[in-house]
Amino acid sequence: MDMPVTKSAVEPNLPERPRASRRKLVVRFTIMAVLLAVVLGGLYGFDQFRAMKIAEFFAGNKPPPTPVMAVSAASEPMARYLDGIGSIVAVHQVTVSPEVSGRITKIMFESGSTVRAGDPLVQLNDEPERADLANYVAQAHLAQLTLTRNSTLAKQQFSSQQTVDQSESELQVAEAGIAKIQATIAQKLIRAPFTGDLGVRQVDLGQYLSAGTAIVTLTDLDTLHVDFSLQEQTRSALAVGQDIEVRVDSFPGRVFPAKLTTIEPQIDPTTRSIKVQATLDNPGHLLLPGMFAVARVVLPADPHVTTVAETSVDYTAYGESVFLLVPAGRQIDGKPVYKAVQTFVKTGDRHDGKVAILDGVKPGDMVVTVGQLKLQNGVEAVLTDSEAIAKPATVPVN
């Protein structure tokens, strides 16, 4: 007889199925974690391998040395100058004008002509004065006759000494009148006061001139002055007789030699500058009064100055610098390779395309003159003779 299955008899076997499901779930998660770790490890390894290969690639493919041009810094004498700006002025320059009034009866010059001292220029009407001169001459003749007669009579006791003195006085008055009229006549013939070149005629024939009316300008262009100013600190370096180099815009590149002739004995309290004057010859009359001029006082040269080409110096807000080339081995073809070292310097005077280096460079240092715009501190460079590196690359236009 079969016994009936009761509820209590089967209850102990119920937990077996959930326990098996949990074990399977743990195994699955473990496998997934292992796979994920393998994938992430592979990705990380690949990334490290790629970075290593990229570094090896760039390490083996560094850019070629930059071509530059360079020269050795030299120690040489360097001229010193004091530069000033000013104007060219004439040594002799006047506006010719009459001392007396009168009507022009004759003009004896042409505009722009060259005249010598004493040459007649303009004749004013002097007929009234010449008539007065004839009158005074007649008076003087009569006074002379009277004086002679009275002197003879006085010697014979037929005339007094007072009469002789009066006759002599009348003669002197007549002679004074002659001298005065002759001076007036001479003033009405206007002459050139010195040798020079005339300007544009400013009067016409028949024109009535008052005293002081401008007739024409007269300028002596053989010798000129250059007036310019310098800072008061330069006074100790100035001396009469120093050589001066004069340049004007009308003749670029040309130097006109002059001599320092005058130093103003006082300082301008407004500008704190000192005025100086140089004198120069003007052959060919190339220079004209009123021209703007740059005057350079030539000082004794410094005997030993370290100089480099002015193109070598890089001017920035942080200071002035140059690139020095330091030997860094050779290329495969045996060509020397240099390392570019940026060096800050202190500069001095600049003349004739060279600049004095007061600090930062010593004689013999190799200084880059062309191509430094392509350089950075520490990069490699090679020397070249090609001027092409100084020219910017052209970009083709589509």
State whether residue 231 is helix, strand or coil: strand
Residue 153, H or E segment: helix 127-155
If you average pLDDT over residues 199-211, what whole number do you get?
94
Q: Tell me, which fold does domain 98-124+189-219 have in CATH?
A: OB fold (Dihydrolipoamide Acetyltransferase, E2P) (2.40.50)
Q: What is the pLDDT of residue 79?
A: 81
Q: Tell me, which fold does domain 126-187 have in CATH?
A: Helix Hairpins (1.10.287)
If you average pLDDT over residues 7-17, what whole number do you get?
50
Q: Tell me, which fold does domain 66-76+304-390 have in CATH?
A: 2.40.420
Instruction: Quick: pLDDT tens for 111-140.
Output: 999 999 999 999 999 998 888 888 889 888
Q: Tell me, which fold does domain 82-91+222-302 have in CATH?
A: Elongation Factor Tu (Ef-tu); domain 3 (2.40.30)
Q: Where are the domains of the chain?
A: 66-76+304-390, 82-91+222-302, 98-124+189-219, 126-187
CB-based burial of residue 45 (10 Å sphere; 0-12 exposed, 13-18 middle, 19+ buried)? exposed
The token pair at 287 is 């220079």
Up-side HSE of residue 88: CA atoms within 13 Å toward CB?
A: 27
Q: For residue 176, how many other CB atoms are within 10 A of its CB?
A: 12
Q: What is the mean pLDDT of the chain?
A: 85
In this prediction the pTM is 0.62
Do residues 176 and 132 lie in contact, with contact meaning Cβ atoms separated by under 8 Å? no
Backbone phi and psi for residue 158, each to the nearest 5 degrees, phi listed first: -100, 0
Instruction: Quick: pLDDT tens for 158-193.
Output: 777 788 778 788 888 888 989 999 999 999 999 999
329-332-333 Cα angle (round to 5): 105
Up-side HSE of residue 355: CA atoms within 13 Å toward CB?
A: 21
Q: What percent of the chain has pLDDT over 70?
A: 89
